[in-house]
Amino acid sequence: MPFNLLKSRSSKNLQLDPTNVVKKKSEMVRSARSTSSSKPAIASTPSNSAVNELVRSRDEALAEVRKRDETIQQQNETVKDFQKQLETHPSAVQNLQNLTDAFQRQLVTLKDAQQQARDQRAAYEKEQEAHHHSRVSLLTQAQRHKEEVDQLKSRLEIQSALLKRERSVSQANMGLLRQQRDEHEEELRNRHKEVERRLNIELRERETAYNTARKMVTKARVDVDNYRSQLVAAEKRSNELTKELALQVGFFEDEKAVSKALQRELKGCEANALDLAARVHRASEENAELREHCRTALAEVTSLLPFRGETEMLRPQIGQLRDRLRESQRARQELENQLRASTAQNAVITQRFAYVQQVLISSTVEVKELQPVQNQLKSLKKALTGAGTQNKGLKLQVASLEAWNKQAQKALTEREKEVHRMQSDRETVGMLQEQAKTLNEALTGKSGEIERLRHRVEELKTVQEQANALKKALDQSKTEKETLRRDIERLFSL
């Protein structure tokens, strides 16, 4: 196929319907939009959404046609290039033939796309016709609804005029009624204010009396709780002190046993010292005898000097005598050293025994001094038990006062409710005044009991101070015992 004929056919195909169809469709859409712009109610119908969908598909088809036109234009340019190359390169004929085949295939696909565009146009025209019929029906319905709305507006205007007349008459009547009501309310308000002022004065007086009584009761309760805690602490401390006294007594008994053992050891050391002295005396006597033997032996030696030959025979005996003399001197030296060590040990033991005797004497004196403290502790325990019984009685009294306080509070709340309910009744106000007087008298009677409880709490505080003083004395004795125990341990370590 010659290239010019191919080019003419492609140009004819490009000048076919699609662009004209697109122009006609766009004009129809503009006319439909211009006619439907004055009717916003029709724009929300389902046929309009279908038209929008068709327009969207139409735009997509046009975009595809434009893309294909661009590709055809590019291929035409490539064909021109290949024609130029044919003039110089005969070998490019095969490439050109391939390109023409591809171009024919693309023309076939373009024809298919044009057929699809025609089908879409027919469907779009059908949808537009249906949309036109629905729009006409909706316009008729809108006109009918508009006429009905005008009729309803006229009826509403007539009814609103009637309602305005009735409202003006009712407002005049309401003004008169409101004036009468305000006058009546002002009168009632003045009466209520007077009664409320009197009742507030009485209630304020009763509340002040009740608050003072409640403060006194709470203060007494706090004092009782503090005394209870202090009493428990004093009992615990007294128990600890009794246990410590028992331990100290056991420790003193142990010290007595140790002192007795030291006495026995001292007696044994004295017996050993006497034995060593006797042994030293015997050794000195033996040394004296050996010296005498030596002297006699020397005298015999001097007398036997002329007989030297015989002296040679006596030399072993003389050596034995010298060895015995050295051994006796060495034994004497050892005995003297043992005697010195035993005398020093006896001196140390006597010092320890004297110190232990002093410690025992001081401990016995302290135990005798602690006897009145123990008696005071016993009396304090008795006082604490009595205070506990009194505390129980005070608890019962406080509980009764609390119960009475609750009852009085309930009565006051009930009376307040009655006052709020019956503010306009003067007789009930008089009865409430009498009841308030009786309650005030009862509160004054209970104030005496509260004062008595306060005095009792002060007495218990004095007892607590005495217990604290005894506690300090016991702590001091405990520290002294601790120092004494440390001194004894240090003495035993020496």
- Could you state, in chain order, the average pLDDT of each consecutive group of 10 residues for the chain (494 residues)? 42 44 51 46 50 75 78 76 64 66 76 79 78 77 77 76 76 77 80 78 75 71 69 68 68 67 68 70 71 67 57 64 72 75 72 69 68 67 66 66 68 66 58 63 62 67 68 69 66 59
Taking all residues of the chain, what is their mean pLDDT, rounded to a whole number? 68
pLDDT of residue 190: 83
The string of DSSP letters for 18-62 reads: HHHHHHHHHHHHHHHHHHHTT-TTGGGSHHHHHHHHHHHHHHHHH
| CA–CA gap between residue 298 and residue 420 (Å, rounded) | 143
Contacts of 167 (CB under 8 A, 6+ apart): none
Distance, C-alpha 445 to centroid of its chain: 49
Q: Closest Cα to residue 276, out of 345, 322, 324, 323?
A: 345
Buried b (16+ CB within 10 A) or exposed e, 239-268: eebeeebeebeeebeebeeebeebeeebee
What distances in angstroms separate CA 102 from CA 91, 106, 220, one per listed residue? 19, 6, 116
pLDDT of residue 373: 64
Contacts of 403 (CB under 8 A, 6+ apart): none
**Rg of the chain on CA atoms, in Å:** 69
Tell the burial category of 339 from Cβ atoms under 10 Å away from its Cβ (0-12, 13-18, 19+): middle
Domain limits of the chain? 3-176
Q: Closest Cα to residue 418, out of 403, 408, 429, 406?
A: 429
Q: Which amino acid is at 138?
A: L
Q: Closest Cα to residue 109, out of 80, 71, 76, 74?
A: 71
| CA–CA gap between residue 359 and residue 363 (Å, rounded) | 6
Assigned token pair, 131: 């949309």
| CA–CA gap between residue 123 and residue 177 (Å, rounded) | 75
Assigned token pair, 451: 């004062």
Q: Which amino acid is at 88?
A: T
pLDDT of residue 491: 59
- 265-274 — which CB contacts under 8 Å span 24+ positions? 265/349, 266/346, 266/349, 266/350, 266/353, 269/342, 269/345, 269/346, 269/349, 270/346, 272/342, 273/339, 273/342, 273/343, 273/346
pLDDT tens for each residue of 196-219: 788 778 777 777 766 776 777 677
| CA–CA gap between residue 281 and residue 335 (Å, rounded) | 10
What distances in angstroms separate CA 321 from CA 203, 304, 326, one per listed residue? 129, 17, 9
